[in-house]
């Protein structure tokens, strides 16, 4: 007899799942019954939040949903923060949990790990939550989840399986096949209207977000066809080559870039929320789009949020960009006065570069050194100073190589477990670096042991400023006496070594270069600690 839990594993294999993150417990062992006989690899984090962050990092680099097996009760409460980050950044994640037997649901009888309503608990951080009331429902609900991942706005999905359903006879489902769903095409009428507006524009501009990263080649050609400057959100970094003359980068929060956007007469926003963390990170507003706004998104609701457009198109970004290019090629384009896009972008960078202060230049040197030594590196960031700097000053040549938790939900502790997932997602094809601060690392420090166990040779670059320095500055700037920000700093080198990692402290550029070279030759994780104060003294920028 094949149980529901065993058939679940078989169906996941059919949908191309290669990796599961989870911590086995008495309420999930039936999910594991068929796992050892499958082709799916399992990684055990040290906390369910770590499982969610690993799944998030895996999905971002692999381009497939990250999958988690989670126990009922505390497992679900632990993973909700990670689901929140994935929900905010539109990352596909499948969380499969157990729940009390059907006769005990919501009973309040004091059962182990009991919650009144797990579905309600995760409602705000999941596209949907489904309770499997019989094994027969399993193929259908998995089809719903993967249809969302394949063709909709990808966000976490939660499927909970009662303990008695997990062991139910599911022989009849062994022949079930996965269902593939194609993404939405581009409505010809909207494409024609958009192309006409873009063709007639004298100063067109493109705002591209993380929802458009698979359309990078098409959007590059579109920008070049129109002579349009392109701004990228944090999650879209790398869509346009770092030396491309039309690249604005991810500088939309700066006054000079906002002035450029305000000059555009037609703005195409594609795969972006146009939300605060990419456009109004000062929390004071001020980002304006006075020109004609065109929006393309896979989510109908998102096309009219924050900034209402003149024309909206619900479609896959790649299909829409291809359709716009084809339509533009059918009509003559007017000459762009003074090559506005290229000249205006050059002037923007000439204006911005001299404004970087000493700290920004020192942190940019830190990041550029990493890129010079590891040119194909994937950089996974937390909420920490070098990440904030890199969001502004760093540009890469391919997408899916720079992402962090300083956007969207804004969690601390994200980068370490997400880097583990990212390395697994890349399949050993590139080094993965975790950029994290001393405060953030203490949220998920135990996941260093997971990295050792999983033999993931991630490189943890710990930026140590002995506390929550950015929040301390924020308090001081608002005339609030700092409280709770000068936290105890442990011996990270000693802790890392105790957990099985190689660890060292470095000060300057050459020491960093040597440490990175040595780390790439190891089979396990390396922690490199950089004291912020010492780094600033050692480098001269």
Q: Domain holding 286: CATH number?
A: 3.40.50.1220
What's CA 114's distance to the chain center, in Å? 31
pLDDT for the residue numbered 429 = 78
Name the pLDDT band for 336 (thresholds 50, 70, 90). low
CA-nearest of 422, 473, 462, 418 to 440 is 462
Are residues 148 and 255 located together in one domain of the fold? no
For residues 422 and 400, the answer to whether their CB atoms sit within 8 Å is no
Are residues 344 and 362 located together in one domain of the fold? no
What does the pLDDT average to over 225-241? 95
**Mean pLDDT in the chain?**
92
Q: List pLDDT tens digits, range 50-69.
A: 999 999 999 999 999 999 99
pLDDT above 70 for 338: no
For residues 66 and 94, the answer to whether their CB atoms sit within 8 Å is yes
If you count DSSP H runs as helices and E runs as strands, how many of each does the chain have, helices first?
A: 21, 18
Are residues 252 and 287 located together in one domain of the fold? yes
Q: 372 burial class (0-12, 13-18, 19+ CB within 10 angstroms)?
A: exposed
CB neighbour list of residue 151: distance below 8 Å, 6 or more residues apart? 181, 182, 183, 184, 298, 316
Locate 215 and state its tokens: 């359309």
Q: At which of 335, 350, 365 does a domain end?
A: 350
The verdict on residue 532 lying in a domain is yes
pLDDT above 80 for 76: yes
pLDDT above 80 for 428: no
Are residues 305 and 161 located together in one domain of the fold? no
pLDDT for the residue numbered 285 = 67
What does the pLDDT average to over 240-245? 95
The verdict on residue 281 lying in a domain is yes
For residues 329 and 323, the answer to whether their CB atoms sit within 8 Å is no
Locate 453 and state its tokens: 């166990």
Are residues 493 and 383 located together in one domain of the fold? yes
d(CA 308, CA 518) in angstroms, rounded, equals 51
d(CA 243, CA 222) in angstroms, rounded, equals 17
% pLDDT > 70, the chain: 98
pLDDT above 60 for 28: yes
The verdict on residue 122 lying in a domain is yes
pLDDT above 70 for 325: yes
Name the pLDDT band for 284 (thresholds 50, 70, 90). low
Are residues 336 and 481 located together in one domain of the fold? no
The verdict on residue 457 lying in a domain is yes
d(CA 83, CA 66) in angstroms, rounded, equals 11
For residues 118 and 111, the answer to whether their CB atoms sit within 8 Å is no
Locate 332 and state its tokens: 């003559």
Q: List pLDDT tens digits, range 191-208.
A: 999 999 999 999 999 999
Name the pLDDT band for 330 (thresholds 50, 70, 90). confident
Name the pLDDT band for 175 (thresholds 50, 70, 90). confident
Q: At which of 173, 203, 237 does a domain end?
A: 173
d(CA 71, CA 182) in angstroms, rounded, equals 33
Are residues 34 and 152 located together in one domain of the fold? yes
SS3 432: strand
Distances (CA, A) of 251 to 83, 291, 392, 394: 27, 19, 5, 10
Name the pLDDT band for 540 (thresholds 50, 70, 90). low
Q: List pLDDT tens digits, range 135-158.
A: 999 999 999 999 999 999 999 999
Q: 102 burial class (0-12, 13-18, 19+ CB within 10 angstroms)?
A: middle
Q: At which of 320, 350, 380 does a domain end?
A: 350
The verdict on residue 178 lying in a domain is no
Are residues 261 and 217 located together in one domain of the fold? yes
Are residues 144 and 220 located together in one domain of the fold? no
Locate 205 and state its tokens: 């501009």
Q: List pLDDT tens digits, range 513-524.
A: 999 999 999 999
Are residues 389 and 523 located together in one domain of the fold? yes
Range of the domain at 324: 188-350
pTM equals 0.94
The verdict on residue 182 lying in a domain is no
d(CA 24, CA 45) in angstroms, rounded, equals 10
d(CA 447, CA 431) in angstroms, rounded, equals 18
- Continuous H helices in 240-316: 255-263, 276-279
% pLDDT > 90, the chain: 77
Number of domains in the chain: 3
What strand order describes the sheet that includes 247-249? 247-249, 230-232, 204-208, 266-270, 292-297, 311-314
Locate 533 and state its tokens: 């104060």
Q: In b/e form, how buried is each residue of 5-28, taking b as 16+ CB within 10 angstroms?
A: bbbbbbbbeebebbbbbbbebebb
Are residues 11 and 145 located together in one domain of the fold? yes
pLDDT above 80 for 281: no
Q: What is the CA radius of gyration of the chain?
A: 24
Angle (CA) 489 47 86, round 5°: 95
Are residues 301 and 165 located together in one domain of the fold? no
The verdict on residue 66 lying in a domain is yes
What does the pLDDT average to over 9-22? 96
pLDDT for the residue numbered 108 = 76
pLDDT-wise least confident of 34-43, 335-344, 387-396, 488-497: 335-344
Name the pLDDT band for 171 (thresholds 50, 70, 90). confident
CATH number at residue 94: 3.40.50.970
The verdict on residue 181 lying in a domain is no
């Amino acid at each position: 007899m094949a149980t529901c839990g065993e058939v679940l594993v078989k169906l996941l294999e059919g949908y191309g799942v290669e990796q599961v993150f989870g911590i086995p417990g008495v309420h999930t062992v039936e999910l594991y019954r068929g796992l050892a006989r499958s082709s799916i690899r399992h990684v055990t984090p040290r906390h369910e939040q770590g499982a969610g962050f690993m799944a998030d990092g895996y999905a971002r680099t692999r381009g497939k949903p990250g999958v988690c097996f989670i126990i009922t009760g505390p497992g679900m409460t632990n993973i909700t923060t990670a689901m929140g980050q994935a929900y905010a950044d539109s990352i596909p994640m499948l969380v499969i949990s157990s729940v009390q037997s059907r006769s005990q649901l919501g009973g309040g009888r004091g059962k182990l790990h009991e919650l009144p309503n797990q579905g309600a608990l995760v409602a705000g951080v999941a596209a949907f939550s489904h309770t499997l009331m019989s094994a027969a429902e399993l193929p259908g609900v998995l089809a719903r989840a993967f249809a969302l991942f394949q063709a909709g706005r990808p966000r976490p999905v939660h499927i909970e399986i009662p303990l008695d359903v997990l062991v139910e006879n599911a022989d009849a489902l062994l022949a079930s096949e996965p269902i593939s769903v194609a993404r939405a095409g581009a409505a010809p009428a909207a494409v024609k209207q958009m192309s006409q507006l873009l063709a007639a524009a004298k100063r067109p501009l493109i705002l591209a977000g993380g929802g458009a990263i698979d359309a990078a080649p098409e959007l590059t050609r579109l920008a070049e066809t129109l002579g349009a400057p392109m701004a990228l959100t944090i999650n879209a970094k790398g869509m346009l080559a770092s030396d491309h003359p039309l690249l604005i980068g991810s500088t939309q929060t700066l006054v000079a870039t906002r002035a450029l956007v305000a000059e555009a007469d037609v703005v195409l926003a594609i795969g972006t929320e146009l939300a605060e963390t990419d456009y109004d990170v000062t929390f004071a507003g001020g980002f304006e789009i006075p020109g004609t706004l065109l929006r393309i998104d896979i989510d109908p609701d998102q096309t009219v949020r924050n900034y209402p457009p003149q024309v909206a198109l619900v479609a896959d970004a790649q299909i829409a960009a291809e359709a716009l290019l084809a339509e533009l090629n059918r009509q003559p384009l007017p000459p762009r006065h003074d090559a506005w896009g290229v000249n205006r972008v050059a002037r923007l960078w000439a204006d911005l570069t001299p404004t970087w202060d000493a700290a920004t230049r020192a942190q940019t040197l830190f990041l550029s050194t990493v890129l010079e030594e590891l040119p194909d590196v994937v950089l996974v960031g937390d909420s920490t100073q070098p990440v904030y700097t890199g969001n502004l000053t760093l540009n890469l040549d391919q997408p899916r190589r720079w992402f962090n938790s300083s956007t969207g939900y804004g969690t601390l502790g994200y980068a370490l477990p997400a880097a583990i997932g990212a390395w697994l997602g890349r399949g050993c094809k590139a080094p993965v670096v975790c950029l994290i601060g001393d405060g953030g690392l203490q949220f998920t420090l135990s996941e260093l042991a997971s990295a050792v166990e999983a033999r993931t040779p991630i490189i943890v670059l710990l930026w140590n400023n002995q506390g929550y320095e950015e929040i301390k500055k924020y308090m001081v700037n608002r005339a609030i006496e700092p409280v709770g920000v000068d936290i105890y700093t442990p011996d990270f080198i000693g802790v890392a070594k105790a957990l099985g990692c190689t660890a060292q402290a470095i000060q300057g550029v050459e020491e960093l270069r040597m440490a990175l070279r040595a780390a790439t030759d190891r089979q396990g994780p390396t922690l490199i600690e950089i004291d912020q104060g010492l780094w600033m003294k050692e480098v001269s920028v």
